[in-house]
Structure 1
Amino acid sequence: MAKLRSRGELMSLVSMPRIETSPFKELARRGLFALLLLFAITGMVWLDRGSYIDNTAADGVSLIDALYYATVTVTTTGYGDITPITAHARLLNALVITPLRVAFLVVLVGTTIEVLANQGSRSIRDSIWRKKMRNHVVVIGYGTKGRSAVNTLRRQGETAERIVVIDSDAVAVNEANIDGLAAFQGDATRRELLRRAEVSKARQVIICLDRDDAAVLATLTVRQLNPTAGVIVAVREQANVPLVKQSGASSVVTSSETVGRLLGLSAIGPDMGTIIQDMLTGGEGLEVHQRLAEASEAGQPPSAVQGERVIGVVRNGTLRRFYDKTATRIEVGDELIVVRRAQPPSNRDVLRRDED
């Protein structure tokens, strides 16, 4: 569904596959409203039946006649066999019944077509999206931590089309849509919702919920659906780290422990704390980045890399830190973890950080 462009950049808002109301229930609700309009017109004609004439039977206007007149009137059939004959009845038809007739047509015809078209196209988009979604990243929780994780992924080269957000808050889901991300609203511990987000085919799952118990349950459910994906979980308390790891997390980040350590480093040496925070803050100063080693770098020591400082080498899935004797030379296929100058943030990132 096309959306308005804002914040200096044109974005496409993705409304992801959660049909909240059955189209049949929606049609029934609108049909009931149309019937109420029909009965309202019938009542007005019946109460003022002396102002109408039956040109066919000439026996007055009964309740059935009033219902018949209301039906042919709102459907614009208009046989003309029953007609208003007094001035006030004709005025009432012009000022009240005619607008009700238009409302009836809008509700019963226009909205029926709209509901069927919207729900049908949404189901089709849902089916197409689910078929093509593979090796994507699922972010559970789009608060401050989840949003920062997504911004970091995108700065590291992950495209918005390969990121899916799950959050129970409608406002957070809307924010994710505005950021160009597919999003689902609901409880991330529900197996059916995770299936609809194609968690079983995801490459990475990032869990950053506000409660540690919910994070544990979400981790268990995700791991059952996808035994091979990387599951990165944020928890508040260090004491819960072993439990989350036992639940299947590949990596656990303790938010309170991390903040406390940064505070301690800043107390010992303010400049040291500034450097650490600088590397953790994207878009300015320094940033940590992981990339594939270039062919021209093969055979060289990590210290020979220009414009970046290599602090780790990932070889055959094993991390080797810069002081490791097995990482004195870069080999083809190595992934380098480097500290580099941060890339300038986009206008959207700047505005988002200002809002936060």
Structure 2
Amino acid sequence: MNHQLTIKILLRKISFLDITCSLHFAGTCCSIDMSSYEKSDVAEREVKDRGEKEENKDEEKGGFLDKVKGFIHDIGEKIEGAVGFGKPTADVTEIHIPHISMEKAEIVVDVLVTNPNPVPIPLIDINYLIDSDGRKLVSGLIPDAGTIHAHGSETVKLPLCLIYDDIKSTYIDIQPGSVIPYRVKVDLIVDVPVFGRLTFPLEKTGEIPIPYKPEIDLDKIKFDKFSFEETSATLHLKLGNQNDFDLCLNDIDFEIWLCDVSIGGAELSKPTNIEKKGTGFIDVPITFRPKDCGSALWDMMRGRGTGYAIKGNVNVDTPFGPMKLPITKEGGETRLKKNKEDGGDDDEDEE
């Protein structure tokens, strides 16, 4: 009985200690939680107060900057109104092709720039690009392009150059004789008081040819007057135009060789139009001395064919402007023929 009573008393003490410890621990936790909450609340209030102060400072600073910007803007408008500053204008008015040869095309772009300001404005840089169907043909930069006078307009000429070998080596589908579309893009950069640097993007489109030299053949040679000292004859030339545009032949400058002997040059008697992908015939009078030709002339007069060569140039008008194109023929063969009144046969075929 005594042992049982002792055990019961011990169990009660242990339970009491457990309850006391639990209450003490709970109180401590509550104390800690309350303290943390109070500190967190204070920190939040401090952050909030600091944020409000910074916002007030930013508002004050922003308001000051806005006032300064507004003041500068107002001053700028007053200066512009009083002095008469304004934005210049620019436009591509025309594109010229002053020179086209078998090697290159020279292009001049006319840009009209109008300056409404009371002071000259400098053209700082001009960037240019020529492309065809999105493919770059040529590009570059022209620095310090000049100055536009005050209260005036001026046409700025931009000289550009297309090298055909560069184009054909880059784009193999662009063949001689074709006509390709192009677009010229120009960025005109000027420096204007009050406004600062301004860039004017400009562009214009058109077409440009890739010329092909005419094919030439000596169809016939006919006597008009014959003597050993001087003989006049007419050269019947056949010209083939392989271009996608017409050629109006205005002048021809060439030299002709018979059996490696030069008999001189000739001039065109009248202009001739040759349609695109077509053939034309021209008569060219020539005067030469038979005694300078050696045996070659006598062989031709006996009805024997003889070799000939032609080298020179033709001056033609095209829809794209005048061109000077080369003409060459080597290894050809022809015969001299007399007029009907001299006993010749005009209808005889050439050998």
Of Structure 1 and Structure 2, which has the larger fraction of its residues in helix? 1
Of Structure 1 and Structure 2, which has the larger fraction of its residues in strand? 2
TM-score with structure 1 setting the length: 0.22
TM-score with structure 2 setting the length: 0.22
Choose 1 or 2 for highest CA Rg. Answer: 2
